[in-house]
Amino acid sequence: MREIGLLGLNHKSAPLEIRERLAFVNLEELRKGLSLLKRDSVLKEVIILSTCNRVELYAVSPRISDILLFDVFERLKGVPSDEIAPFCYFKVGQEAVRHLFIVASSLDSMVIGEPQILGQLKEAYEVALEEGTVGFFLHRLFQRAFFVGKKVRRETGIGDGAISVSYVAVELARKIFGDLENKRVIIVGAGEMCELAARHFRSHGVREIMVANRTWQRGLDLASKIGGTPIPFEEIKERFKEADIILSSTGASRPLIFKEDVKKALKYRKGKPLFIIDLAVPRDVEPEVNELDGVFLYDIDDLKQVAQEHANNRLNEAERAKELVEEEVEKFTKWYRSLEIVPTIKDLREWAEALRKSEMERVLRGLSLDEREKQKVELLSKRLMNKFLHPLVVFLKAQARDENSVKEYSELIRCIFGLEDQ
């Protein structure tokens, strides 16, 4: 399994200012990157996962190495390898498989048990599939990862309560303001995180929610779903003076909200505090906004402490989930090793079939049998052959537990039956 490799960084290994430099801000950018890799890369297969908390490149190549994958990141994002290397992790073979299964199970998420990661993985897989960068191995690996993610949620309580990053953001607002009932909220963006946040605000009693999005129709659709008010994207800066809470999560490649914009709004707020939550990667809000008096800016990394409180409540379920992951890693590894036996089993069956046919022809020439009798003898010979081969095939497949045994016994069978040259 040495051909599969993973290079990535996440909310544990890298600060936001590093992650946002490698983030793929939308599907169009992701498609372009995959298309480039398909045309002129030594990678046989590749899938890129880019979320607010991680960027990971899963690849298959006979030359897999961290140097190779760092070069891919540098080509796609223009970020020198030496600037990101201290924040990245590189995993090969079984370790890469284990990491993917852990990610799919939301055990590596900022909010353990959050349900969004499985959908994000599926989207990454589907985009790569459409771009033609998914082959036999990554197809099998990701399909298994989806199965593992669902199994963990089904057989443990890790997903109870449907906690997400959006939920944590709203919890933070509730801790700061206490009662949210009379607060005005502006949602900038219309994606899944914004919708989840809007619903959580509603569940905590927020009555007035304004929704702004670059695409008017998407903003209108979200506003309709959550009973909010759509506002033109161009008007959001004017509306800052009315809001108590601003939550932003768009796919913009550069900040949308600047220090000067917020500073102007403060003149009309009469000392009322303004709470801004920036869930976007790259960030939607200029970090310098936090320098203003009366403004409390929180980005995705600032939510870690609140998320950790919820993680502590799920530690027992997380331990059970890890056990399930290990079981599935072992199953996948066994399946992969069994692939090395397949050529030997195939050659063994072909050798036995050729021998059976040869002996059948010789025997039938000396017998006076009608067609029906010949078919019976033919069937008998096939059954005898299969009964003879069955214990050998079962034995070979059982050796998939150990990589060295696979090679050793495969070579032994080839030697015994003279299959070396086949």
> Who contacts 2 (Cβ-Cβ below 8 Å, separation ≥6)?
64, 92, 93
Give the other-Cβ count within 10 Å of 361's Cβ: 9
* Two structure tokens written together for 299: 């980005």
CA angle 404, 100, 340 (to 5 degrees): 25
CA 307 to chain centre: 20
* Two structure tokens written together for 98: 């284990």
> Who contacts 47 (Cβ-Cβ below 8 Å, separation ≥6)?
57, 58, 59, 124, 125, 128, 133, 134, 138, 142
125 close to 142: Cβ distance less than 8 angstroms: yes
Backbone angles phi, psi at 309, to 5 degrees: -60, -40
Sign of CA dihedral 79, 85, 86, 89: positive
Place of tokens 């994958």: 69
DSSP 280: -
* Two structure tokens written together for 263: 């500073």
Question: What is the chain's length?
Answer: 422
State the first-to-last Cα distance of the chain, in angstroms, to the nearest integer. Answer: 24
Q: Are strands 45-50 and 89-92 parallel, antiparallel or unpaired?
A: unpaired
Q: Which residues are catalytic?
A: 52
273 close to 296: Cβ distance less than 8 angstroms: yes
Give the other-Cβ count within 10 Å of 70's Cβ: 20
